[in-house]
A and B are shown apart, each in its own frame.
Chain A
């Protein structure tokens, strides 16, 4: 995803001389192509994320469209207040790019596990939080970011993210992209959890259960008509997010259900427990947290078998 992001930026920068890429000394083998082609619109500010957020604020004030790039926790959490008082307070189109969302850096340890970024930045008024599911959707999101004027938090994976079948790079603000139609349950996923959710739907199919899968890359501050419309058509929804349950996708969906009085039961799959603990590959961490496809399918089946959902008319 990070390669798709930088490549898309590079292509757009040929036509748009406002695009500016800053990194806090990360992105080896990723950012060089942009830096080589646009040396005046690239800065490695050194290991100084707070300063990078401030510099981006100043650059945006004189008309640039800065993208600030670092590992998700360093880009989003370390300079949370700088993002708040800079791009958010001044309403400037700075895009904060968080690399390695969720457990992408699984074995690197808890300091590198980005679990609170989506919820934390979604709390900022006027901030657009978006976690694309695969490289093609990442490209579409980058283009969409440049067609609007709000600050954005763009959480992407690391490398080697596979394409999500059926998504075909589709993205629109405020609405889920449906990649599989079913009747018993809706899996609603953000970021790289889309692939796990799709695999879980296939596992359910083998058990005779029919699942829809939606990709909610954009996590808006409030529920949207497009989201409510999809929820209305399902008796049960299982939200899947690679992060804590506070403030992220499950919070959004729970709020939508409660506000609209929807007859939709909510299952929340996300990260629980303390930060400290054994680490390992991303797949290992997903399994530990019950976020792998098999766990998601079991969670869904247990609820559906326990009390079958009322099917939508």
Chain B
């Protein structure tokens, strides 16, 4: 079923705001991890822009979101801000002394259920949430956003086996397949290809999608029948939306100069 055009408009608008906020806050704090925050902008916009039910509330049946790749927390903060869950004042404290908005998310923040930052651990927590919610007969869904290199971690595959064995069909993992990790391209560091086939071999339903196409994302992330857990392998570009960052491994860590920031914003406005 084609996604609702009104919702898509909202999601696309949200994505533009998130991308701009990521650049602004990163520049203000002089903190990196820009590239991997920009690669997940459309994924977060699709989830937080209406697909997740009761996101950011305390209701027991709210959908849960686990940012397994915790280093993209800036994009999550921006998504929560532009979804009305976090104030501009709070967002403005990103990485300032005394803030709760660090590079990796803390669970004391309204709307964040799981603190992350150590790769490979989030999907297990998502499995526990999904299993517990199902036992409680909750209709809640659980979403876990992983980085591709995070799948180097053995614990990811422990969790993958568990989810498949227990048929956690209300659990959806999303892999941010930006092909880049801290010290180089994933294919050179530890080749993960073919990503979808690996998950299928572990008993998951795998679907590939352009990770910057919100219509495609909305379709594959929509609720569906019972059966297997689903993994959405989202092909993305590190640093998406900023021409000089796109696909450049260095932007995993770098922060922007004033001139680079101006160039990035000009590029967004011209797009």
Binding site for B on A (CB under 8 A): 40-41, 43, 45-46, 48, 50-51, 53-64, 81-82, 85-86, 89-90
Measured between beta carbons, the chain B residues less than 8 angstroms from A86 are: 121, 125
Q: Is B76's beta carbon under 8 Å from chain A?
A: no
Contact residues of A: prevailing secondary structure? helix
Q: Which residue of B lies closest to A89 (CB)?
A: B115
Contact B121 A58 (CB under 8 A): no
Q: Is B210's beta carbon under 8 Å from chain A?
A: no
Given contact pairs A54-B122, A61-B128, A63-B132, a sample of 11 additional A-B residue pairs in the complex whose CB atoms are under 8 Å apart = A45-B162, A53-B124, A57-B128, A59-B129, A61-B125, A62-B136, A62-B138, A63-B136, A86-B125, A89-B115, A90-B114
CA distance A51 to B115 in the complex (A): 16
CA distance A216 to B56 in the complex (A): 44
CA distance A82 to B60 in the complex (A): 24
Measured between beta carbons, the chain B residues less than 8 angstroms from A51 are: 124, 127, 155, 158-159, 162
Chain B, residues 99-141, CB within 8 Å of chain A (1/0): the string is 0000000010000011111100111111111111101101000
Contact A82 B121 (CB under 8 A): yes
Central interface residue in B122, B127, B132, B159, by most chain A CB within 10 Å? B132
Contact A81 B118 (CB under 8 A): yes
Contact residues of B: prevailing secondary structure? helix
Q: Is B248's beta carbon under 8 Å from chain A?
A: no
Measured between beta carbons, the chain B residues less than 8 angstroms from A55 are: 124-125, 127-128, 131, 162
Binding site for A on B (CB under 8 A): 60, 107, 113-118, 121-133, 135-136, 138, 154-155, 158-159, 161-162, 165
Contact A48 B161 (CB under 8 A): yes
Measured between beta carbons, the chain B residues less than 8 angstroms from A85 are: 115-118, 121
**13 CB-based A-B contacts, threshold 8 Å:** A40-B135, A43-B131, A46-B158, A50-B124, A54-B124, A55-B124, A55-B125, A57-B124, A58-B129, A58-B130, A62-B138, A85-B121, A86-B121
For the complex of A and B, 3 pairs with smallest distance between CB atoms: A58-B128, A54-B124, A51-B158
* Shortest beta-carbon distance from B34 to chain A in Å: 24
Contact B115 A90 (CB under 8 A): yes
* Shortest beta-carbon distance from A92 to chain B in Å: 10
Contacts A48-B158, A54-B121, A85-B121; is A59 near B128 (CB within 8 Å)? yes
Contact A58 B135 (CB under 8 A): no
Which of A53, A62, A89 is in CB contact (< 8 Å) with B132?
Answer: A62
CA distance A60 to B136 in the complex (A): 12
* Shortest beta-carbon distance from A108 to chain B in Å: 23
Contacts A45-B162, A48-B158, A50-B155; is A58 near B115 (CB within 8 Å)? no
Central interface residue in A41, A48, A58, by most chain B CB within 10 Å? A58
CA distance A274 to B114 in the complex (A): 39
Contact A82 B129 (CB under 8 A): no
* Shortest beta-carbon distance from B18 to chain A in Å: 26
Contact B155 A56 (CB under 8 A): no
CA distance A61 to B129 in the complex (A): 7
Central interface residue in B118, B125, B130, B135, by most chain A CB within 10 Å? B125
Contacts A51-B158, A51-B159, A82-B124; is A59 near B115 (CB within 8 Å)? no
* Shortest beta-carbon distance from B62 to chain A in Å: 11
CA distance A85 to B114 in the complex (A): 10
Q: Which residue of B lies closest to A47 (CB)?
A: B158
CA distance A55 to B158 in the complex (A): 11
Measured between beta carbons, the chain A residues less than 8 angstroms from B165 are: 46
CA distance A86 to B125 in the complex (A): 8
CA distance A64 to B161 in the complex (A): 22
CA distance A82 to B115 in the complex (A): 12
Measured between beta carbons, the chain A residues less than 8 angstroms from B155 are: 50-51, 54, 82
Which of B115, B125, B133, B162 is in CB contact (< 8 Å) with A48?
Answer: B162
Q: Which residue of A lies closest to B140 (CB)?
A: A62
Contact A58 B107 (CB under 8 A): no
Measured between beta carbons, the chain A residues less than 8 angstroms from B124 are: 50-51, 53-55, 57-58, 82
Q: Which residue of B lies closest to A55 (CB)?
A: B128
Measured between beta carbons, the chain B residues less than 8 angstroms from A45 are: 162
Measured between beta carbons, the chain B residues less than 8 angstroms from A90 are: 107, 114-115
Contact A58 B161 (CB under 8 A): no
Measured between beta carbons, the chain A residues less than 8 angstroms from B121 are: 50, 54, 81-82, 85-86
Contacts A50-B158, A85-B121; is A62 near B115 (CB within 8 Å)? no
Contacts A51-B158, A61-B113, A90-B115; is A56 near B128 (CB within 8 Å)? yes
* Shortest beta-carbon distance from B119 to chain A in Å: 11
* Shortest beta-carbon distance from B169 to chain A in Å: 16
Q: Which residue of A lies closest to B115 (CB)?
A: A89
Q: Which residue of B lies closest to A45 (CB)?
A: B162
Contact A62 B107 (CB under 8 A): no
Contact A64 B127 (CB under 8 A): no
Contact A46 B161 (CB under 8 A): yes
CA distance A41 to B132 in the complex (A): 9
CA distance A81 to B115 in the complex (A): 13
CA distance A40 to B132 in the complex (A): 10
Q: Which residue of B lies closest to A86 (CB)?
A: B125
Q: Which residue of B lies closest to A51 (CB)?
A: B158
